[in-house]
């Protein structure tokens, strides 16, 4: 019974990592798409980076709840989305999708 409750305590951080990864990468995609038409591209890039990192690190900190294991599971969820998106959207494969 205790093992089951421990497994469920790691489900939330994993899905939180997935969610925050989607937010991070959608924000990155929006920033890259907006850069050519921006009058201040450096400000847009730096501002977007700080906002995305602030949200990501805040979620990691809140989900962690003083447990490094929960932090690792959250980071694992983040990396699953990162590698999946990198694999599915690599240059040349779906280049026409994002024009």
Provide the whole-model pTM.
0.81
Extract the tokens encoding 62.
């809140």
pLDDT of residue 19: 96
Q: For the segment 24-57, what is each residue's pLDDT rounded down to a tens digit?
A: 999 999 999 999 999 999 999 999 999 999 999 9
Is there a domain that residue 96 lies in?
no
- Phi then psi for residue 4, to 5 deg, are -65, -45
The residue segments making up the domain with residue 10 are: 2-89
pLDDT of residue 94: 54
Whole-angstrom distance, CA of residue 57 vs CA of residue 93? 31
pLDDT of residue 8: 74
């Amino acid at each position: 019974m205790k093992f089951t409750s421990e497994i469920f305590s790691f489900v939330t951080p994993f899905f939180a990592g997935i969610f925050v990864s989607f937010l991070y990468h959608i924000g990155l995609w929006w920033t890259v798409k907006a850069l050519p038409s921006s009058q201040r591209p450096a400000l847009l890039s730096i501002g977007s980076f700080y906002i995305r990192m602030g949200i990501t690190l805040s979620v990691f900190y809140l989900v962690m709840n003083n447990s490094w294991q929960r932090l690792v599971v959250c980071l694992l969820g983040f990396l699953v989305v990162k590698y999946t998106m990198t694999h599915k959207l690599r240059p040349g494969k779906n280049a026409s999708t994002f024009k």
